[in-house]
Structure 1
Amino acid sequence: MWAQDVELHLIARDLLHTIQELCHKGTAPDPQTEIDNSRTLALMMRHMDRDLRFEFMNEDSVIKLWQALRERYGNVRDSILSNLEAELNDLRFSDFDTIIQFYSEALRITGMMRLCGKTITEEQLIEKTLNTFPVYAMRSCDLFWTHINARRITSFQQLIKAMEIAERKDNELVRREIDRLRDSYPERRPMARESCHRRHDLYD
């Protein structure tokens, strides 16, 4: 993520050429970019971790610094990717309290995997979501599969929106049922309240 941020900053400042040739061709940039080299080096050092800054403080060339960082951390994506794959494998919709929590976690994992060079398709996300539905919601799951097979839902985001709409409707139905039960609760009637207290008296 740090490398990606640095590249974005270099693009914004028109300094990407100071490392671009090294990344794509393995050769150093043109020698007339000494000022650009200093600007890029200062920017990278400013956004670097404090301990790393002390470790690489003697580097006077952005090419040498970038290459040293790549040699040291170039394989970090492989170790991160294996952990992310395990997290995606363990991801269960039934483990989350709300749809938004599941959606955020799924996007975090897939975004990090994309950063590591592996893309998770919309179909994989949809299948992961519906295959990990809680048992009590199987009827809703079957309904979503029907919409997917009919191509009314074609993306993960559309599925999440449909699930949110269904969640709001279910919550409204539950709220109405609670209100109905509360209105008919015996304690709302004075005589019933009195008999209720008598019935539960410890010494009755």
Structure 2
Amino acid sequence: MKKLTETIVIGNKSPPEHKAEAIIFLKKHLDENVTHDYASIEDPTELWQTLKERFDNQKEVNLPHALEEWKNLRFQDFQKVEEYNSAVLRIASLLKYCGNPVSEAEMMNKTYNTFHKQLHFLPEIYRKMGYTRFSELMVALMLAEKNNELLIKNHNSRPTGAKAFPEVNATAIENSERRTQFNRGRGRRFNNKRGKTYNPKWKGSNKWVRSEQVSKGKETQEDTTRRETRCYDVVRRTLVPHCRTPPHLCKLYQESTKAKLKK
């Protein structure tokens, strides 16, 4: 790097290879908007002096604008403390670059003197806290801001004196989990490990049937007889209390029906 810095000194006697490296380095780091303005310059000393004449006056150009910003800066114009903190640090950095630095005391006094008039009592409170650095004051103001936001949020959540409503979603989820656990328990309780299943439609029955042994569409003579007997019993229990047929005819019908079943 030393050999490159020597090439931009007026009257230097650097070898051509060092000058070539220096001119390549300078043009590589130029902004693309001004690269074409200096494309014809091949001497690093000439390029450096030209750039210095053009851009070395930024301090004088930016100083009036920075001083105006600092003069009009007010804490009450910002809704968030963080926004005000960023603005102060940016302007202070610009003033320092322009040769007019701002002290910690000046930044804190700027804050104290630009509070809103309705909060006139707060500057005195913070002054008595004895802060010596601007960052300490900002931390205290940010903490107070967060606490105030939390206070307002809690106040607006429901009317004063009203009780908090239970969380409906949480209650529904809890009840759903309980029902799921209950149903799982019932499933384990009424499930047989040997492949047998219980048919809940057969109320009052404790019979267990192997599902693989039930054949659809096939019925033996014995099963048919049992089914007809059950149907006859159901018809008899249902119709007899409401039947108006003479008793002797009912008896003859029952005897004939039994005879047919025996055959």
CA distance 1:92–1:36, change in 2 (3 Å): farther
Say yes or no: does 1:82 pair with 2:64: yes
Shift of 1:93: 0.9
- Alignment partner, residue 133 of structure 1: 115
Shift of 1:181: 2.4
- Alignment partner, residue 125 of structure 2: 143
Number of positions where the alignment pairs a residue of Structure 1 with one of Structure 2: 163
SS in 2 for 1:88: helix
Match of 2:14 among 27, 31, 38: 31
Q: Tell me the alpha carbon deviations over residues 110-131 of structure 1, each in whole angstroms, 9 at most, x when there is no partner.
A: 1122222221111111111111
Q: Tell me the alpha carbon deviations over residues 159-201 of structure 1, each in whole angstroms, 9 at most, x when there is no partner.
A: 101111111222222222223526639xxxxxxxxxxxxxxxx
Q: Is the 8 A contact 1:15 1:36 kept in 2?
A: no
Q: Is the 8 A contact 2:8 2:44 kept in 1?
A: no
Q: Distance in 2 between matches of 1:115 and 1:144?
A: 30
Say yes or no: does 1:43 pair with 2:30: no
> Which one has the bigger helix percentage?
1
Q: Is the 8 A contact 1:114 1:120 kept in 2?
A: yes
Match of 2:75 among 93, 116, 139: 93
Provide the TM-score with structure 2 as the length reference. Answer: 0.55
- Alignment partner, residue 18 of structure 1: 5
Shift of 1:154: 0.8
CA distance 1:30–1:91, change in 2 (3 Å): farther
Q: Distance in 1 between matches of 2:143 and 2:92?
A: 24
- Alignment partner, residue 97 of structure 2: 115
Match of 2:157 among 165, 179, 186: 179
Structure 2: segments with no counterpart, 5+ residues: 164-263
Q: Which has the larger radius of gyration?
A: 2
Structure 1: segments with no counterpart, 5+ residues: 1-13, 186-204
- The percentage of aligned residue pairs carrying the same residue is 23
CA distance 1:18–1:124, change in 2 (3 Å): same
Q: Is the 8 A contact 1:93 1:133 kept in 2?
A: yes
Amino acid of the residue matched to residue 174 of structure 1?
I
- Of structures 1 and 2, the one with the larger relative CO (CA 8 A, separation 6+) is 1
CA distance 1:129–1:16, change in 2 (3 Å): farther
Q: Distance in 2 between matches of 1:139 and 1:184?
A: 33
